[in-house]
Every structure is written in C-alpha cells, then in structure tokens.
Chains A and B, each alone.
Chain A
Amino acid sequence: MSDDPDKVWPTGLNLREAEEVHSYLIDGTRVFGVIALLAHILVAISTPWLG
C-alpha cells in the first residue's frame, strides 16, 4: 500500500493531484470569503446592526 512514496494515502492520488484538489478548496474558500464579506458590508449599509 505504501510502496509508492509519491502517493498520498488514503485517497490514492499522487502529490501533484492532491495539491490540485487542495487548490480548488483554497480558491473556493477565498472567493466565498470575499463574497460573504461584501454581502455583510452591503447589508450593514442598508440595515445597520450593532449601533
């Protein structure tokens, strides 16, 4: 099972593939983060909370 040092267990992907899957996760998190931030700012402008 661990005869290929390039494999990332338990997924069976190799290192480059795993990093690519990971990059989609990171990109998605960043985009969703920015979107959520923008949406919160806009809501705070129209209906302010905390003060």
Chain B
Amino acid sequence: MFGMRTIALRKLSTLSTRYLPFADVASAEVPLSRLLRLSLFQVTVGMALVLLVGTLNRVMIVELSVPASLVAGMLALPLLFAPLRMLIGFKSDTHVSALGLRRTPYIWKGTLYQFGGFAIMPFALLVLSGYGEAIDAPRWIGLSSAALAFLLVGAGVHMVQTVGLALATDLVPEGDQPKVVGLMYVMLLLGMVVSALIYGALLENYSPGRLIQVIQATAVLTVALNLTALWKQEARDRARAQQMLETPKVTFAAACSSLMANAGTKRLLIVIGLGTFGFGMADVLLEPYGGQVLGLSVASTTKLTALLAAGTLAGFGLASRRLGAGGDPVTLGRIGAAIGIPGFAAIILASMGGGTALFLAGTLLTGFGAGLFGHATLTASIRNAPRNQIGLALGAWGAVQATCAGIGIALAGVVRDVLAGYGNGPAGLQIQTPYNMVFGIEILFLGMAVLAAVPLRMLLSNRADPTLSDAQHNTVEVT
C-alpha cells in the first residue's frame, strides 16, 4: 500500500515539472526554434494594433455609425499608456519572485489584460452603438465600457511588448541580439499584414454576430499564442530568487536618472523620437496620395502597402546582417533616416511631373529606410542598456517610439480627413499641396534625426567595452 503511494508520488514528481511553464535550467545556447516561438508575442501585438487602428476604426464609423471624433478619442486612449512602459520595464527589472522569474509574470498579466479587453470589446461596441435594447440604456455605460476595453487592450499590448523584448534580450548573448531584434520586427510586420488581410476578408459582410466572433477569436488566439511564446522560456532560478530578496530597493526615479546618466541615452531617445515621427506619418498618407494626386486605382494603392512592407523587410534583413557582422547601429540608423529623405523627395517630385514610377521608387526607398532605422535604433537601445536595466531601457524605447508613431499616425489622419473634406481642393490650392507639405515636414524631421545622431556615435563609443561598463555598473548597484 505504502509502496504504491511512493511509486505514484515519484511518478508524479517526475511528470509535474514538465507541465509547469518555466524552464528548469538556463541554457547557454538558445535554439532558433525557441526564439521563433518567443517571437509569437509580437504577432499578437500586431493583431491588436491592426484591429484597433485599422479594422475597428472603419467598423465603428461605417457600420456602427459612432461619431468619428468619438472613435478617434477611443483609439487614442491606449496611447496614454505608452509612457507607462518605462514603469512596466522597471518593475520587471526589479521584480521579486520566489521562483526567480522577472519577465514571465508581466507577460502573463499583459496577456490577461489583452484577453480581457478583447472579451468585452464587441459587446461594449454594440452597446455604444445602441444595438438592440441598448438604445434605451444610459449613454455612460457604452462609453465607459468601450473606453475600458480599449484601455485594457492597450495596456496589455504595452506590457507584453516591453517585457517580451526584455525577455528576448535576456535570453541571447550580445552577439546574437541584432538577429533577435530583426526576428521580432519581422514577426510584428508579419502579424500586422496577415491579420489585416484576414480581418478584411472576415468583416467583408458585416453583421453584429460576425463582429463578436472576430474579436473574441482574436482574444482566444492572443492567449494561445502568448502562452505558446512564453512556455518554458524563462528559467526557474533559486539563486536569483535569493538575490532578488537581498538586492536593496531602488526607486523608479533613481533608476531613471541612473539610466539617463549614461552618455548618449537621452540623445538616442531624441533621435528615435524624431525619426519614428518622420517615418510614422507616411503609412496613412501614401494610399490617399496615390489615389487622389496620381490617380491610381484602389487595387494598385493597396499594392503600395505591400511595396512599403517589402522595403521595410529588406531594411530589417540588411540591418540584421550588418549589425550581426559587427556594424555600428548608430551609423546604420543614421543611414536609414538619411535614406528616407530622398525617398520622400521622390514622392513629392512624383506629383510635380515625376510620374508613378518615381512614386513607387520613393515608397520602396522610404520603407527600406524605415526598416533600417527601426532595427538599428532598437539594437542601439539594447546595446546601450546596462544588463540589469534592460527592461527600463526597452520601456524608454517603447514609450518614445509608441508615442511618436501614434502622434504621427494621428496627425496624418487629421491631414487626410481635412483633405477629404475639401473634395477637389479649394480654389487656388492644388490637391497635392497639403500632402507635399506633410511629406516636407517628414523630410525636415528625418533631417533633424540625422543631425542629432551625428555626435551620438562619439558619446556611445566612449563606453568602449560594453561588457566592462556593465560589470562596473553592476558592482556600483550592488555595493
């Protein structure tokens, strides 16, 4: 009897750790298949972004006839959370856990928020639009529940992306980081492109039931993909758990000022902000520009997005190769921003008699520059971060990047809507003039990014050996 019990228990104890989502040992070599699996969290981020910015934007205005200004306000809500990425990253850096985990709990929480937001979103939207009996319900219920849904999804996306990137950085040695950054960007792009196609096809024939199905399927898929990505990635570590208990508490403000005290960090963030803003406005404006100004058909303007994405992919690829071979990320980022300038110039010239071929070449070039710039600046942020502040550094990157990209997209949307209001343009103002002004502003911002990046290489390379300065930093923190 007792023998049976012992045998059963021993069997269970060998089985059970296989069913816990933590790795038992931290392996030095992380195989590509595991990194690919980890990068699935970027697919869910891409899905959420497309659903919020693209699909629901249209569905709410066209099918649910919610006022456009209200839709814009709702969709801007997640942007408010972007600066909180720094806090999330910091908390994951200094998390105290008996299991020695730092990133896993936050990715799990972020996944919960993403799921929760998507789970209530379709019903919140239906109540907001006054579907069925909801027409008699008080207005604040629809408003507050829709706002809550968007806030939850936004908070979840910020958490998952920030902490997920930090986990990926933890897992791989310094030399492989450019490859991982490239992989993460490619998966984000892939998630966005594929889910945009799928959402478009699924919501072709809109019905309230279909909306519920699509959004809730997204919720389930998000949890499934994030759990697959997270499974057995971070090692259970009793030594680190002990260390977590003994490390003195650092306040958020102190950690921030210690990060900003590193030479070049602030300037790098400025460059990232300027460049992201410059590239960010293009996405939304290229299609209406091609249609209204150059007279391209709807089908061929859709191919523009594919062309832009192809250029971006080529940029990621080149950046991965060059940085993996020991290239300097700051120089490469500056080249990326600089490539965007002739790209936008070609797009402007296309309306001044340059023709469609010039426009397509400009689009491809802009995508290429954006890919190069995005990859190189994220790699620079990671390399510049002290090993114990990776979460915070990636939080700062994400806060600047998401805020500037969001403002860029919102501004571009405003410009586009104002133009759509003009119809064929007011007297004395040609249709392409406002577009070209925006593209001119983008060139200006990219130029500023290039200039701001000039002294950056000197500042960052002053920390000649990154591993050495990390070690110094660690000793300072511990003592």
How does the 8 Å CB contact mask read for B88-125 relative to A, with 1 for contact and 0 for none?
00000000011100000100110010011001100110
How does the 8 Å CB contact mask read for B112-152 relative to A, with 1 for contact and 0 for none?
10011001100110110001111001000100010010000
| Chain A, 1-43, CB within 8 A of any chain B CB | 1, 9-14, 16-17, 19-21, 24, 27-28, 31-32, 34-36, 38-39, 42-43
Contact call B134/A11, Cβ cutoff below 8 A: no
Contact of A1 among B10, B99, B115, B241 (CB under 8 A): B10
Contact call B133/A28, Cβ cutoff below 8 A: no
Number of interface residues of A (CB under 8 A): 28
Contact call B97/A9, Cβ cutoff below 8 A: no
Complex-state Cα separation, A34 to B134, whole angstroms: 21
Closest to A17 in B: B98
Contact of A31 among B9, B20, B116, B236 (CB under 8 A): B116
Cβ contacts under 8 Å, B108 to chain A: 24, 28
- Given the interface contacts A1-B6, A20-B98, does A12 sit within 8 Å of B17 by beta carbon? yes
- Given the interface contacts A17-B98, A20-B99, does A46 sit within 8 Å of B16 by beta carbon? no
Complex-state Cα separation, A17 to B20, whole angstroms: 12
Contact call A16/B123, Cβ cutoff below 8 A: no
| Chain B, 6-58, CB within 8 A of any chain A CB | 6, 9-10, 12-13, 16-17, 20
- Given the interface contacts A35-B116, A45-B141, A46-B126, does A12 sit within 8 Å of B10 by beta carbon? no
Contact call A42/B16, Cβ cutoff below 8 A: no
Contact of B99 among A17, A42, A47 (CB under 8 A): A17
Question: Which range contains the number of B residues in contact with the other chain?
Answer: 20 to 34
Mostly, the A contact residues are: helix
Q: Whole-angstrom distance from the CB of B340 to the nearest CB of chain A? A: 42
Contact call B141/A16, Cβ cutoff below 8 A: no
Complex-state Cα separation, A13 to B180, whole angstroms: 32
Complex-state Cα separation, A48 to B187, whole angstroms: 41
How does the 8 Å CB contact mask read for B223-251 relative to A, with 1 for contact and 0 for none?
00000000000001000010000000000
Cβ contacts under 8 Å, A42 to chain B: 120, 123-124, 126-127, 141, 145
Cβ contacts under 8 Å, B131 to chain A: 46
Closest to B134 in A: A46
Complex-state Cα separation, A19 to B241, whole angstroms: 14
Contact call B124/A10, Cβ cutoff below 8 A: no
Complex-state Cα separation, A9 to B99, whole angstroms: 16
Complex-state Cα separation, A29 to B145, whole angstroms: 21
Contact call A45/B127, Cβ cutoff below 8 A: yes
Contact call A9/B13, Cβ cutoff below 8 A: yes
Task: Pick the most buried of B12, B99, B115: most chain A CB atoms within 10 A of its CB.
Answer: B99
13 pairs, A vs B, C-beta closer than 8 Å: A10-B16, A12-B16, A13-B99, A17-B236, A20-B99, A24-B108, A28-B108, A32-B112, A32-B116, A35-B115, A38-B148, A46-B132, A46-B137
Which residues does A use to contact B, with CB under 8 Å?
Answer: 1, 9-14, 16-17, 19-21, 24, 27-28, 31-32, 34-36, 38-39, 42-43, 45-48
